[in-house]
Structure 1
Amino acid sequence: MKHKKIIQVLFAYLGIVAFIAGNNSQVKAQTISPNTGIPPYHILTTDSVYVTPANLKKNKPVMIIYFMPDCGHCQHLMYDLKPQLKNLKDIQIVMISAVLRLKAIQVFQRDFDLAQYHNITIGTEGYTYLVQKYYKIGQTPFIAIYDRDGKLSQTYPRVPTIPVLMAAIKKV
């Protein structure tokens, strides 16, 4: 009797895995090359509002930072970048996380006092992982910089030094 129950649970588990794998293959078919421009993100912000690239201002550079609120490297980046944020007021910064817990992102925003910067949008892409797949992100933080025309200028799959990042931003 006990073995029969284990086999039933195993088959149910395998069915769920097969379902997820089937759905993941559909998501992969939607993956877009990052050379085509800003990814078609759909994020839930800390204000519980959904935003997309359509919300970006035209003719302004964009910096996308893919992060995790509990990532030590992401926190270190923000500690180092924070003194420079006043110099980045003309750059639209979109901070995107895959963390579903909006509260964790709100705490990150509060800890770094990011709400005071009107050029920073911070939120989660949830379980879509569209942005993560778009850039093939393996670790966080990941940074992409776009020029005024929405063309990709530079990506950083690892944390750059702040002088290197600021120099890249000045070029756009």
Structure 2
Amino acid sequence: MTKKLKSTTNYNPLTIMKQFFLSLLAIVAITGCTWAQNQSTFTQTQPQRIQNLPMYHILNTDSVNVTTTKLKKDKSVMIIYFSPDCSHCQHLMYELKPKLKELSGIQIVMISFVQYKMIKEFYRDFGLSAYPNITVGTEGYTYEMQKYFEIKTTPYIAIYDKHGKLVKAYEKAPDVKELVDVAKKA
């Protein structure tokens, strides 16, 4: 003889649907929070130490020592760390040169570690004297900026707003259109 067991569980379809939607909502909430945390970590890839405009000391193409204090207040700054014999740096300058008039309101400081003679030739070859907003110089063998930004390859570009706060940094040469757009908004 078989006995039929009585079920003590009530399988109300409405209760089951509520539990299903509550579980689904919990999964979506947990996933969303995890994704948001990962996104904030992703977008904040620049180290805290470079969030403020650094103090630099360079010898410019006129053999004058220039520091951060020479920058005009309330103007954004683009620092380009480069090497005159770097093909990526030269390529960046060839692409950037037609756009330099658009960047006339931005102070561009090009810093290198190479000898003064090479800096002067680079300045001359690219006709940078036509742009009063551009300063080119060498930090010599101090490597202060190289250490500050932990530069591994050139060109390295950091854009700071008029308050000296980092807007964006590029460890490699970016698309010039993007670079110009970011710099103009800084």
Aligned counterpart for 1:60 among listed residues 67, 71, 75:
75
* Partners of 2:82 and 2:110 within 8 A in 1: yes
- The structure with the larger Rg is 2
Rounded Cα–Cα distance in structure 2 between residues aligned with 1:46 and 1:33? 29
Rounded Cα–Cα distance in structure 1 between residues aligned with 2:67 and 2:156? 19
1:87 aligned residue: 102
Rounded Cα–Cα distance in structure 1 between residues aligned with 2:135 and 2:185? 22
Rounded Cα–Cα distance in structure 2 between residues aligned with 1:38 and 1:149? 9
Q: Is 1:48 matched up with 2:63? A: yes
Cα deviations by residue, 1:57-91 (Å, 9 ceiling, x for unpaired): 00000000000000000000000000000111100
The amino acid that maps onto 1:107 is E
**Alignment RMSD (CA, Å):** 1.0
Shift of 1:129: 0.4
1:102 aligned residue: 116
Shift of 1:39: 1.2
Cα deviations by residue, 1:139-159 (Å, 9 ceiling, x for unpaired): 000000000111010000011
SS in 1 for 2:110: strand
Shift of 1:168: 0.8
Q: What are the ranges of 5 or more consecutive residues in structure 2 without an aligned counterpart?
A: 1-47
Q: What are the ranges of 5 or more consecutive residues in structure 1 without an aligned counterpart?
A: 1-31
User: Which runs of structure 1 show a deviation greater than 2 angstroms over 4 or more consecutive aligned residues?
Assistant: none
1:163 aligned residue: 177
Shift of 1:170: 2.3
- Quote the sequence identity (%): 59
1:131 aligned residue: 145
